């Protein structure tokens, strides 16, 4: 790493928490940071905002790899409540939805999802977050519960 980037400017408390967490996994903090930076550069090269990677990872971890459907989405939505308010999740789905779930926002309270499994998954996520969601063909409309 270039000298000027040898120390990253982060909050001391956050740096200490990161250091403790990484050490408990048996890794070196510098090794983990190097891989995180490589992943961020790779994301940028593929047109993904590195901050959105955090949301993508949380969503993927909540859903589980290769899983989909209403019940899976509903359980994921309940887990995602720990990280996001319902309004925040709508904004995040607007940003990352097209990339990972082929979900496009078509109105303030509507998403278009052409894949039936992804549609059920997104509807489940929204209902797990506390919205009432209805699917009509490829459009999901939502209202607050």
Residue keyed to tokens 């899976």:
72
User: What is each CA distance from 58 to 11, 99, 110, 116, 140, in whole angstroms?
Assistant: 22, 15, 22, 22, 22
Asked if residue 83 lies in contact with residue 137, where contact means CB atoms within 8 angstroms, the answer is no
Q: Give the other-Cβ count within 10 Å of 61's Cβ.
A: 12
Taking the C-alpha atoms of residue 70 and residue 106, their distance in angstroms, rounded to an integer, is: 21
What is the per-residue burial (b if ≥16 Cβ within 10 Å, else e) of 79-93? Answer: bbeeebebeebbebb
Task: Identify the pLDDT of residue 2.
Answer: 47
Task: Identify the pLDDT of residue 100.
Answer: 86
Mean pLDDT by 10 residues, the chain (145 residues): 57 87 92 91 90 90 88 95 93 91 93 94 95 94 80
- Against a cut of 0.75, is the pTM above it? yes
- Among residues 91, 118, 89, which one has the least CA distance to residue 103? 118
Rounding to the nearest 10 degrees, give the CA dihedral for residues 78, 114, 52, 86.
-30
pLDDT tens digit sequence for 62-93: 998 888 999 999 999 999 999 999 999 999 99
Taking the C-alpha atoms of residue 17 and residue 69, their distance in angstroms, rounded to an integer, is: 36
């Amino acid at each position: 790493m270039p000298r000027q980037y040898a120390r990253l400017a982060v909050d001391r408390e956050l740096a200490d928490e990161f250091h403790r967490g990484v050490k408990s996994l048996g890794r070196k903090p510098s090794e983990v940071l190097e891989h995180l930076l490589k992943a961020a550069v790779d994301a940028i090269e593929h047109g993904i905002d590195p901050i959105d990677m955090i949301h993508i990872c949380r969503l993927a971890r909540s859903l589980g790899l290769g899983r989909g459907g209403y019940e899976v989405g509903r359980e994921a939505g309940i887990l995602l409540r720990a990280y996001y308010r319902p309004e925040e999740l709508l904004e995040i789905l607007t940003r990352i939805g097209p990339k990972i779930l082929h979900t496009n926002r078509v109105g303030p309270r509507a998403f278009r999802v052409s894949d039936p499994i992804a549609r059920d998954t997104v509807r489940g996520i929204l209902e797990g977050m506390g919205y009432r969601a209805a699917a009509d063909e490829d459009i999901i409309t939502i209202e607050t519960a």
